[in-house]
């Protein structure tokens, strides 16, 4: 972790306005060391995440760390109701038990969705989860800097998107993608990794991700409107989210995303990764 501390100190000295990655070479940190440090960051996050699932740590026992990073890493993950509890045979009783247990009020169940709605809700939930974690990673690195407020605003919107798709998954009894734990970690690493390269690189990541999401939502809107019985509520939800994602894209451009080092190559790689994740989440 000493190497990570050194790397972050060099990052602060660069102040995000370095036009290239020369600051790595200037401080004699070679590419292998950089990858090693990033690997350590991933390993630490995975350990904390898994421990929080298996045996949540009491607040008084948590190790001291930066306040922003602590809130990000210890943020409780929304737990979906068991699919067994959401089955038609256990519907009302399970909902009552959930309410009595102190959790938020039970989500009313709906009839099983058609194949299109099932696919849309599953993949969009995965996408909003990934977006949520990308902004969490960016906030962990840049949260106290000049872009902290801007990133925080976009993150709050993404958290609301995720919350609404959590509700839709429960209401329609849609099976979430089995890739959820991987997208959770991958999103945070992508956000934190690009933020370590500088503010402009973080904004380039935002532009790349939001470009894919906006195109994806537009495709879904066309599919819904062409369906025999379009789901008007889902149509309105996706339209609202699409407009907010477009706003995030424009924010990234306004904050110098196109001036990031290796902008074209970086955004193409991130776009390819996002499209691949979408294709996988549609099916499994």
Read off the pLDDT of residues 98-127 as tens digits, 9 standing for 90 and up. 444 444 455 555 555 678 888 999 999 999
Tell me the pLDDT band of 97, cut-offs 50, 70 and 90: very low
Cα 272-278-280 angle, rounded to 5 deg:
105
Residue 203, pLDDT > 80, answer: yes
Residue 104: what pLDDT?
47
At 108 the pLDDT is 58
**Looking at residue 231, what is its pLDDT?**
86
- pLDDT(276) > 80: yes
What angle separates helix 31-54 from helix 2-14, to the nearest 10 degrees? 120
pLDDT at res. 230: 84
Report pLDDT for 172: 86
Contact 155, 244 (CB under 8 A): no
Q: Which residues of 168-180 are buried (b: 16+ CB within 10 A; e: fewer)?
A: bbbbbbbebbebe
39-58 average pLDDT score: 54
Q: What confidence tier does 36 reach under pLDDT thresholds 50, 70, 90?
A: low
Please tell me the predicted confidence (pLDDT) of residue 272: 94
Of 18-22, 91-95, 133-137, 231-235, least confident by mean pLDDT is: 91-95
Answer with the residue of higher pLDDT: 74 or 262: 262
pLDDT value, residue 213:
95
The string of pLDDT tens digits covering residues 218-270 is 999 999 998 888 888 899 999 999 999 999 999 999 999 999 989 999 999 99
Domain boundaries, the chain: 2-78+105-283
Task: Locate 208 and state its tokens.
Answer: 């790349």
Cβ 200 vs Cβ 255: under 8 Å: yes
| Better-scored residue on pLDDT, 70 or 284 | 284
Q: What is the mean pLDDT of the chain?
A: 75
What pLDDT does residue 45 have?
Answer: 62
Return d(Cα 210, Cα 216) in angstroms, integer: 10
Does the pLDDT at position 215 exceed 90? yes
- Give the rounded percent of residues in the chain with a pLDDT score beyond 70: 60
Output the six-digit token pair for 155: 């993150």
Cα separation of 174 and 196, whole Å? Answer: 36
| Section 117-143 average pLDDT | 93
The per-residue pLDDT for range 164-195, each reduced to its tens digit, is 999 999 988 888 998 999 999 999 999 999 99
């Amino acid at each position: 972790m000493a190497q990570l501390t050194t790397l972050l100190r060099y990052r602060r000295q660069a102040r995000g306005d370095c036009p290239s990655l020369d600051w790595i070479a200037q401080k004699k940190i070679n590419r292998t060391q950089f990858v090693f440090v990033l690997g350590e960051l991933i390993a630490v996050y995975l350990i904390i995440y898994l421990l929080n699932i298996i045996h949540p740590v009491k607040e008084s026992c948590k190790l001291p760390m930066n306040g922003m990073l602590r809130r990000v890493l210890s943020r409780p993950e929304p737990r979906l109701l068991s699919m067994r509890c959401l089955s038609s045979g256990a519907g009302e009783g399970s909902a009552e038990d959930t309410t009595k247990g102190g959790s938020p009020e039970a989500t009313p169940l709906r009839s099983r969705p058609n194949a299109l709605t099932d696919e849309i809700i599953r993949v969009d939930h995965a996408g909003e989860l990934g977006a949520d974690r990308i902004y969490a990673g960016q906030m962990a690195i840049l949260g106290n800097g000049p872009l902290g407020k801007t990133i925080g605003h976009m993150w709050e919107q993404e958290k609301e998107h995720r919350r609404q798709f959590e509700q839709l998954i429960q209401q329609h009894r849609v099976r979430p993608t089995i890739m959820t734990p991987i997208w959770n970690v991958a999103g945070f690493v992508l956000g934190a990794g690009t933020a370590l390269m500088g503010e402009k690189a973080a904004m380039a990541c935002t532009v790349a991700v939001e470009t894919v999401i906006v195109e994806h939502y537009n495709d879904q809107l066309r599919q819904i409107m062409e369906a025999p019985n379009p789901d008007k509520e889902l149509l309105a939800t996706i339209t609202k989210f699409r407009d907010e994602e477009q706003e995030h894209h424009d924010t990234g451009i306004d904050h110098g995303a196109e001036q990031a080092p290796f902008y074209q190559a970086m955004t193409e790689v991130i776009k390819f990764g996002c499209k691949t994740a979408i294709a996988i989440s549609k099916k499994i």
